């Protein structure tokens, strides 16, 4: 079969059609990709929260409590009488929520066996970074034990 040269006008129309379809595809794809990416919602900033009374039985029994700091979990550990520590409870490895091992006095993540000391430093296992530390204040309360107040460091 002989190869015919594509006439000039046909080539022009083909190019026109091709770019039109390309533009059409883009005008569908762009909103689709944007639709699939969830919008960023500004979150109300949290400056400080109350983690309950210092002599809360939960602190005495388990030695720790996980509290909401905005939308994120924060672990409050009772290291000693009137010595509380607050750290981000989100493991820096793969986002699990950590707990406190009273008998070994360390923060421990059950998912992949990551360990942190009570300052938040990653001391064993896979975590790549320390846990973010929060500030703890014991606010005296008349007639009962002080309140544990956690705020951004």
Partner 1 sequence: MSRVLQWLDDRVGWSMLREFLSHKTVPMHRYSVFYYLGGMTLFFFLVQVCTGVLLMLYYRPSADEAFESIEFLVTTVPFGWLVRSIHAWSANLMVFFAFLHLASVYFLKSYRAPRELTWITGALVFFLILGFGFSGYLLPWNQLSFFATKVGTDIAGVVPVIGEWMLRFLRGGDRVTGATLSRFYGWHVAILPAITTVLLLAHLVLVQVKGMSVPANVEEESRRRSPMKFFPHFALRDLSGWIFALGVLAALAAMMPWELGEKADAFAPAYANIRPEWYYVFMFQTLKLVPGGEVLGIEYEAIPILLFGLAGLLLLLVPFLDRRHGRGWTIAGLLGLAFVIVMTCWGYGTLVPLYIVFLTALLLALFAFITRAPEAR
What's the CA gap between 18 and 2, in Å, rounded?
Answer: 25
- Shorter beta-carbon distance to partner 1: residue 77 or 140: 77
Supply 64's token pair. Answer: 């720790």
- Rg of the chain in Å (alpha carbons): 29
Contacts of 130 (CB under 8 A, 6+ apart): 92, 116, 119, 120, 121, 122
What CA–CA distance (Å, rounded) separates 79 from 53? Answer: 15
> Considering the complex, what minimum distance in angstroms separates the CB of residue 39 from partner 1?
9
Minimum CB distance to partner 1 smaller for 128 or for 140: 128
- Residue 11 vs 129, nearer CB to partner 1: 129
Binding site for partner 1 (CB under 8 A): 36-38, 40-41, 66-68, 71, 73, 75, 89, 92-99, 109-114, 122, 125-129
**41, β-bridge pairs:** none
153 token code pair: 């460091």
Nearer to partner 1 among residue 109 and residue 148 (C-beta): 109
| Smallest distance from partner 1 to CB 79, Å | 17
Least CB distance to partner 1 at residue 136 (A) = 18
Supply the minimum distance, in Å, between the C-beta of residue 86 and partner 1: 14
């Amino acid at each position: 079969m002989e190869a015919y040269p594509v006439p000039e006008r046909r080539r022009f129309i083909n190019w026109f059609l091709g770019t039109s379809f390309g533009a059409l595809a883009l005008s569908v794809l762009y909103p689709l990709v944007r639709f699939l990416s969830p919008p960023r919602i500004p979150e109300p900033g949290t400056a400080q929260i109350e983690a309950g009374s210092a002599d809360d039985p939960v602190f005495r029994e388990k030695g720790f409590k996980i509290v909401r700091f905005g939308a994120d979990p924060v672990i409050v550990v009772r290291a000693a009488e009137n010595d509380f520590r607050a750290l981000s409870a989100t493991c820096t490895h793969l986002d699990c929520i950590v707990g406190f091992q009273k008998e070994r006095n360390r923060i421990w993540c059950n998912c992949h066996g990551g360990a942190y000391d009570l300052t938040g430093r990653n001391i064993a296992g896979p975590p790549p970074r320390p846990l973010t530390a929060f500030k703890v204040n014991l606010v005296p309360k008349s007639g009962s034990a002080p309140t544990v107040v956690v705020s951004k460091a």
